[in-house]
Structures are given as structure tokens and as C-alpha cells.
Amino acid sequence: MNKLKVAVLISGRGSNMMALLEASRQPESSFEICLVIANRSDAGGLAAAQQAGIEADIIKFGDFETREAFEEALHDRIEHSDARLVCLAGFMWLLGDAFVQNWRDRLINIHPSLLPAFKGLNVQAQAVEMGVRFAGCTVHFVRHELDDGPIIVQAVVPVKPADDENILAARILEQEHIIYPQAVQWIGEGRIRVSGERVLIDNADIHNEAIISPFDTFD
């Protein structure tokens, strides 16, 4: 089976990148990571990718005169790798319209909230401050608006009375490491279709499993 080639863009430690890499090494995996790009030279995930034998590059905005030139360099490097899917994994850069359009329905992101709630940064703190009872994470196709696009899969976690943003973030991160590889696996298997702005998963049972709800007790 020809596996789906995936490029991963990071800015930091790359924990979701490592979750994808681990999943890609399973016998039943439908995808492989062919490239990791960081937009920061101090991104911890770069070393992890190199140690795993993955091509890893640094492409920084500061090395280019314009935003467009930076994103064109990203695009060209990804195309050169023969990647067919781009995964944003803690990539701290709002991609422009041209890049997003070039990779439309081939560009996905993971966000630590139940979109469309709590877009942007510091979303775990927002969830705690607002007193929501449930939070979670979302894998979605990327559109030009911030944290917007057709939702592929979400995971739900409880927000406990004693939670602060760090405790909640850690609980959500555990689920990120589950659903991001799952989404890429489905795409590699050809089970994902975008109809309008809605994701359809070819298998009703799988679609019903798209919400993962580890409802543990409230302490």
C-alpha cells in the first residue's frame, strides 16, 4: 500500500508531531511523515525529528523580505518533499490566503478547544475562567480565518473544579495525541470527504466514534 506522505509544521517541542510519528510506525498505519519544518531555530521538535531520521528544515520569516516570500518558500519545500498532506502541530503562524488555498482540504490543524468555542491563544485559561464544564480539542481542515474550517474529529474532557489552565491543558493534550493520528489515519485510508464545509467520514460507525468522551469522575 502506498502510504500518504505527510509534512508537519512546528514551532516548539513538537509533542503532536511525535504522536503522529509514533502512529506512522505502526504496521497498520496509512501514512508516513516525510518532512518536518520549523519556523524557529530553537524548536525542540527539530532534534526529535532528526533523531527519528526524518528530514527536518528551518524556514524563518526573518530570512525573507515579505510574508508572501516566506510562505512561498514553505510551499515550495513541502511540494519538493512530495507530501500530500500538511499537518500544523503547534505552528505559531497564521498562514495567508494563498498558502491555505494552495493546500485546501490538504491542510489540517489541531486546536486545544471544542471549536468553534475559544479560538486563538490561551484557550485553556479562557475555559477555566468561563466556568465551562467540558473542554477538549479539535482536528480540522484549515481555512483562512483563525481556527476555522471543517471539523474532522473532536475529543471531550471534563473541566474539574480544582483545574487551572495547566492541569486542563495537560488533560486535553493527552487527547490531542489520540485524535490527531486518528484523523490522519482516516485521511490516509481515503475515508474523509469534505462536502461544503462539513466533513463526512465513510462509515457511519466511525463517524459516531468521532467524539471521544473520557468522562472520568469529578473530584
Average pLDDT per block of 10 residues along the chain, 219 residues long: 94 97 97 98 94 96 97 98 98 97 98 97 96 97 96 97 97 98 97 94 56 42
Q: Hey, what CATH class is 111-219 in?
A: alpha beta
pTM above 0.85, yes or no: yes
Give the amino acid at 131. Answer: G
- The pLDDT assigned to 203 comes to 76
pLDDT in tens, 64-74: 999 999 999 99
- Cα gap 202→46, rounded to integer Å: 35
Question: What amino acid positions are annotated as catalytic residues?
Answer: 111
Q: What architecture is domain 1-103?
A: 3-Layer(aba) Sandwich (3.40)
Cα–Cα–Cα angle for 209, 185, 189, nearest 5°? 100
Query: Any idea where the domains of the chain sit in the sequence?
Result: 1-103, 111-219
- The pLDDT assigned to 16 comes to 98
What would the 3-class secondary structure string for 82-127 be? CCCEEEECCCCCCCCHHHHHHCCCCEEEEECCCCCCCCCCCHHHHH
| SS3 category, 165 | helix
Count other Cβ atoms within 10 Å, centred on residue 96. Answer: 14
- Cα gap 142→217, rounded to integer Å: 34
- The pLDDT assigned to 206 comes to 43
Query: Cell digits for 8?
Result: 508537519
| Distance (Å) of CA 198 to CA 80, 138, 201, 218 | 30, 14, 10, 33
Identical fold, 1-103 and 111-219:
yes
